[in-house]
Structure 1
């Protein structure tokens, strides 16, 4: 996308607090004001490093969140949860939070402020069939913003409870298409989040940031590419001045393919190979899924045709990593150096190619060249089935809300 559009997206949250635009009109969101006076409250307080807290996605040592849809999960007793956000929180950052698998609630949080997120009136509390311990989850929606966790509070006399991580893990490495750029709830409307949450009982990480290339160069304001930045907790945003996977899904190349960034096919292939080498080095047993690119549509005669990029290059990359030559002596990359590993026996093929052609149609792409909310759901649905059929992963999410505010229907029987 154009640089000015990328910068506009970064600043969107500062235009009007809690504003979501849909087709040029303001959506009625009614986000609750959750900020409270900490001094007037009777809490039991835990620090941000409490062992009961489970941080999801990328957070640094100061508990500052980065990349897309990072989260915080923990169990608790009682009916009260509040969080104090640190000074490195970006004011008005939108977070989603909920109990168990209930629908998401959204609120804008403030630096230094304490926000009451669970009370006796919260959906999921004091239900007829309670699940113990009660599970609290918070996710940062804004990909360009972030929060810092300072303190977590529960009711006086109550306690936090550690929630063990799920056994399955999936990570997405991508750009704006994976980060949820231009979608209603950004990170929590992206196809990557939809796959991770839709699988159910799966740890998921969306290491994606708009405008970034796989090649290690400046692209749309990002000073480094994923071949370098993936190895760090922080993203390439202005806020940023160690990693995870059973399955790793890579969707990169849209920005490299843009002539404005002047990335050659050779540079793209070299960087993409090094990124997979890095993944293989960090996660020797991980399965890597390379996603075919989609670059929007153009009118072709009296219909539409899909733009694609680096098609042959991506297929050649997959073939290279599954070749006997590579598997007998794999090369790893740590962000700076390539190292050849000597193996007693060859590794097994571990790189797969997910073809996206035909999943989206021209009206599934919005004016800013990104999927609509429906487009993201379509990609997520197809990728979920691909993962199920290819790796035998059961879909165990059978009720919790995934995408928020997508329940549209017509209740007129004559019109």
Structure 2
């Protein structure tokens, strides 16, 4: 294989992180895809700037091509023998990314700032399996974490036509607004193990964004280190992370707004937020929560008038009651009253909703106490259960087909017994 030769800064070795699985250290010997830079530039490589129209960005990215929120990514078609990506200095140290060719299983590697990673060669799983050989293939990349991110510096291709090609975007779009439960905190692979990911990626043929961050409240208030709630932050490009503060500061006026008109409106918006508001540590009143929920939905509908909005009830963990367990229910009346606020004027004489756009999804009975991990968040199984119920809800209520019929959705969540006698 020929050496790569890019005129970029010296590459830094990827940093690996420890993942605990049921209290045991999980092997994470992901391949090191970094490549060393040499001084003479190899003219056979074609380099694309991050602004190249052939590159489709998924989720929220700013004008410096820095990713934000949970599970952002990019996708492009290619005709080439090798693909490498150079990451900029705003890339988080050691952040884990998932990537794959077409519908192959996800592959994982750690990347870091000012490094170049060789992601595709003829030996990469799925390379040139398309019939006929040499036909267009696609590469998709996703950031697994919700607090870390990458900055795209450039993309390099070589071999064959050595070109990138724009992949048409799907016509169905979804948005999910939430907190740590939706961002995938404490799930095995975080964002790409979350129910949010399982719901929207599992439907197939859906463009989506997971605008969720741990500890954030709905009400615009300081919660667990987050300076603002979703009533303000959802309107912005970045999340509420420390790296966002480092880049943009704490003044809302200096935080760039998300350009809604430059992106497709969400056909369906799912909201699951309020667990942090409901914690007495954050001092959010019932009235503040109710008013803020109405404000958020008004903000959504002002930008996406045709979006159907699904509001989830809060499961609020489980507590032992006598000799069994019972699910909590934070802000139960407030959430139902929010739905009534928007829908009461749409009911006909028979009580049927003729023009409702806000729907109530009751989470009761989906999760059980052992679907919640020691850190008070869903296990991988809990995320899969919630995603599966939501997928069927979307199918039954909105008539969406389930189009993901083979490619892996959630990576490394397959647990099975392969012992026949025990």
The DSSP-based 3-state class of the residue aligned with 1:35 is: coil
Would you say 1:365 and 2:372 are equivalent positions? yes
Is the 2:92–2:149 contact (alpha carbons within 8 Å) kept by the matching residues of 1?
A: yes
Matches within 5 A, 1:183-198: 183-198=187-202
Q: How does 1:248-287 map to 2 (within 5 A)?
A: 248-287=269-308
1:210 aligns with 2:214: yes
**Could you say which residue in structure 2 is the equivalent of 1:413?**
420
Q: How does 1:313-328 map to 2 (within 5 A)?
A: 313-324=334-345
Query: Which among 126, 129, 145 is matched to residue 128 of structure 2?
Result: 126
Distance (Å, rounded) in 2 between the aligned partners of 1:353 and 1:128: 43
Aligned-partner Cα distance in 2 for 1:112–1:302: 56
Does the CA contact (< 8 Å) of 1:18 and 1:31 recur in 2? no
Runs of 4+ in 1 over 4 A off after TM superposition: none
Separation (CA, whole Å) in 1 of partners of 2:292 and 2:84: 43
The residue number in structure 1 matching 2:256 is none
The 1:348–1:25 alpha-carbon spacing in structure 2 relative to 1, beyond 3 Å, is same
Counterpart in 2 of 1:239? 243
Residues 371 and 310 of structure 1, relative CA distance in 2, 3 Å threshold: same
What TM-score, normalized by structure 2, do the two folds share? 0.88
Any conservation in 1 of the 2:346–2:355 contact (CA below 8 Å)?
no
Partner residue in 2 for 1:312 = 333
DSSP-derived class of the 1:386 partner: helix
SS at match of 2:243: coil
Q: Deviations over 1:376-412 (max 9, x none)?
A: 0000000000000000000000001001112221122
Per-residue deviation, 1:18:
3.2
Of the three residues 87, 92, 97, the one matched with 1:90 is: 92
Corresponding residue for residue 116 of structure 2: 114
Question: Do the aligned partners of 2:346 and 2:356 also contact (CA within 8 Å) in 1?
Answer: no
Aligned residue for 1:188, secondary structure, equals: helix
- More deviation in 37-46 or 211-220? 37-46
Sort the Cα spacing of 1:347 and 1:232 in 2 relative to 1 into closer, same or farther, 3 A: farther
Q: Secondary structure at the match of 2:290?
A: helix
Q: Which residue of structure 1 lines up, in the alignment, with residue 185 of structure 2?
A: 181
Pair 1:227 & 2:231 matched: yes
Match of 1:102 in 2: 104
Shift of residue 133, structure 1, vs aligned partner: 1.9
Partners of 1:29 and 1:380 lie apart in 2 by 26
Say yes or no: does 1:296 pair with 2:317: yes
Provide the rounded CA distance (Å) in 2 between the counterparts of 1:66 and 1:193: 15
Segment of structure 1 superposing worse, 347-356 or 48-57: 347-356
Q: Give SS of 2:419's match.
A: coil
Q: Classify 1:139/1:273 alpha carbon distance in 2 versus 1 (closer, same or farther; 3 Å).
A: same
Query: Structure 2, unaligned stretches of length 5 or more?
Result: 1-14, 249-258, 348-352
1:391 maps onto 2:412 in alignment: no
Q: Structure 2 CA distance, aligned partners of 1:283 and 1:112?
A: 38
SS at structure 2 position matched to 1:315: helix
Q: Aligned-pair distance for 1:37?
A: 2.2
Shift of 1:413: 2.1
CA RMSD of aligned residues (A): 1.8
Q: Indicate the SS of the match to 1:402.
A: coil
Compute the displacement of 1:79 (Å). 2.5
Q: Distance in 2 between matches of 1:99 and 1:284?
A: 36
Alignment check: 8 A CA contact 2:35 2:116 kept: yes
Deviations 1:302-328 (A, max 9, x none): 1100111111111110011113289xx
CA shift for structure 1 position 288: 0.2
The answer to whether the 8 A contact 2:54-2:166 is kept is yes
Counterpart CA distance in 1 for 2:346 and 2:137 is: 51
C-alpha separation in 2, matches of 1:359 and 1:317: 22
Task: Report the alpha carbon displacement of residue 130 of structure 1 after superposing the two structures with TM.
Answer: 5.5
**CA–CA distance in structure 2, aligned partners of residues 176 and 104 of structure 1:** 23
User: Distance between the aligned counterparts of 1:231 and 1:135, measured in 2?
Assistant: 31
**Count of matched residue pairs:** 382
8 Å CA contact 2:70–2:145 kept in 1: the answer is yes
1:134-170 deviations in whole A, cap 9, x for unaligned? 0110000011101000101111541000001100001
In structure 2, distance between residues paired with 1:310 and 1:105: 40
Name structure 1 gaps, 5 residues minimum: 1-15, 327-345
TM-score w.r.t. the length of structure 1 is 0.89
Task: Please give the alpha-carbon distance, in whole angstroms, between the structure 2 residues aligned to 1:283 and 1:130.
Answer: 41
Secondary structure in 1 matching 2:148: coil
- Evaluate the alpha carbon distance shift between residue 347 and residue 286 of structure 1 in structure 2; reply closer, same or farther with a 3 A threshold: farther
The answer to whether the aligner puts 1:153 opposite 2:156 as a matched pair is: yes
Q: 2:360 aligns with which of 349, 353, 358?
A: 353
Post-superposition offset of 1:224: 0.2
Partners of 2:366 and 2:113 in 1: how far apart?
41
